Structure 1
């Protein structure tokens, strides 16, 4: 099959070709995701992406036309959810390239699972925008089933910012280097009961959160009267998105409250604080993604703050 293509694992030197492929996909799929070479390099140096064992890319000459890449979990108890990402250039779709890559990704997930968490149950996850043409048919044909839905929500800022305040006795502070470990620890505590979430060790945190897209002045920690951190909000911004759209979007990537402090309005006050901050810092819009079956307060929190849904994502799962 595909004699005009060459196939090999991804390497860190493929950042530019990866960005070009992803941006070609965005031109058709319209998921709002644009990339610079630095963005794709960050994915390629992920400490939990074993490129040699866990990736495959297809090339037409020097042009990358498709890829599959899996990321194993640093921690797994009963279930090890391996994340499988990938895509095919619009000019090469419906030729079997996606099928070959998807099958290779599942096999790579099996291999990395056996290497890192063999005692756990393996589940392979694919997370993609619902509207991408042909995606549902492709993954269903390989045995994947939809297990979760997520909504992408946006806030216009300006006069739409509400006036929710933090409860008395709490204070909010922006990110700082000395507080970074508190940010990470609160994120892990806040997401302990979230479906599919696992703790982020320091190397994973540095790669996925405190990277070139991280916005420290728009990321906040809430402390109680004793100085104990109880809630966190992390904002990220993609330069490539603004270059492509002209819109400076503040993405609230992490919003969480530790369990024993929920139900007090802390998250609402924190989101309102962050909305005012990003508006003052010159952002045009704020956005977030919410699990449709998240713990109480997830989706409603953002809608009450003035966010409206614009896109839906599906989490597909396979138990090979």
Structure 2
């Protein structure tokens, strides 16, 4: 258990200087800018193709990542460019301003396949961890703290680099999919509840419901309005639905994303359920089934082959079993690795 009696500024052990990778690695290092979005997306895609991953990073996703109002690109990003100015390595550290239970810093990055095996990945992890420690120490939040990253299980070499730097596996996630050419589950009729399309007027009420629903989920923290609105690059409003009670209060929601760049790599078009939640007092009444069945029909109507989602294997709501019962099967998996402070 983390000793929170010690100030976070001490626990985080922030270095005075963040170690920039050695120029001897062959790259010139600088912060990222908003103008780098296309080049960084291309770098990510080269890595994803080489690693055989079933998804591809879009320019819109990188642009959104770089544009967050709470991010300082001059300090929180690092790009290694070759002699021609092409990005060959990239690292990024991000905090979550809404954190109230555990203050977190997420680190991520990649190295061009042609530049691997030279120690660049280890240097990026060292830079990322040092900057994460600085951000946590400066957060002003006397809470348990975490430096975290995600590693796709199909590329174990990535996890090995982080483990060598002191990270340890802490949580496991499965990406599940459900074919839409199989018979779809019926949409149950639930007294006192109706499912309506997402609308901008309901959006903040959905955010507040999400914060409440996930308050008892490991690793989940409240999302500020800025954080909520900043996660919209792939948002699919036509595939998103809200469950309302008779007083028009939000009691459940299903928020979808449309990741068209992934479809050629995966081999099929799909709809992705990003967020699904049901308020506690409505659980056990098949509300999640009603939302997922509605979502599946929306995906199917638009010609999608699969419905997809991701779930924490230790989700306390029993979501993994629910999804399996509805025909979802595991397609691939990932691991969260952390340093707990």
| TM-score (ref. length: structure 1) | 0.94
Q: 1:223 to 1:133 in 2, by over 3 A?
A: same
Q: Does 1:143 align with 2:166?
A: yes
1:79 paired residue number: 102
Q: 1:319 to 1:245 in 2, by over 3 A?
A: closer
SS in structure 2 of the partner of residue 171 of structure 1: strand
**Distance in 1 (alpha carbons) for counterparts of 2:53 and 2:237:** 25
Q: Is the 8 A contact 1:53 1:112 kept in 2?
A: no
Q: How does 1:1-320 map onto structure 2 within 5 Å?
A: 1=22, 2-60=24-82, 61-208=84-231, 211-242=232-263, 244=265, 247-319=268-340
Q: Secondary structure at the match of 1:116?
A: coil
Contact persistence 2:239–2:256 (CA under 8 A): yes
TM-aligned CA distance change 1:308 to 1:10, over 3 Å: same
Q: Aligned pair count? A: 318
SS in 2 for 1:70: strand
Shift of 1:32: 2.1
Equivalent residues of 2:29, 2:80 under 8 A apart: yes
TM superposition score normalised by structure 2: 0.89
- Cα distance in 1, alignment partners of residues 295 and 140 from structure 2: 38
- SS where residue 158 of structure 1 aligns? coil
Shift of 1:95: 1.0
Deviation at 1:76, TM superposition (A): 2.9
> What per-residue deviation string (whole Å, max 9, x for no partner) do you get for residues 267-288 of structure 1?
1121111111211122221110
Describe the superposition over 1:103-133 as per-residue Cα deviations: whole angstroms up to 9, x where unpaired.
1111111111122234223210011211114
Cα separation, 1, equivalents of 2:72 and 2:291: 37
Give the superposed CA RMSD. Answer: 1.7
Contact 1:153 1:288 in 2 (8 A): yes
Deviations 1:19-40 (A, max 9, x none): 1111001112233221332221
The CA deviation string for residues 111-166 of structure 1, in whole angstroms up to 9 with x for no partner, is: 11122234223210011211114112101100111000000001111224222414
Distance, in Å, in 2 between the alignment partners of 1:272 and 1:29 is: 33
CA offsets, 1:249-294, max 9 Å, x none?
Answer: 1110000111222121111121111111211122221110000010
Counterpart-to-counterpart distance in 1, 2:179 and 2:58:
25
Q: C-alpha distance in 2, partners of 1:195/1:166?
A: 31
Residue deviations 1:64-86, cap 9 Å, x none?
11111111121333421211111
- Structure 2: gaps spanning 5 or more residues: 1-21
Q: Which has the higher mean CA deviation after the structures are superposed, 306-315 or 111-120? A: 111-120
Does the 8 Å contact 1:55/1:108 carry over to 2? no
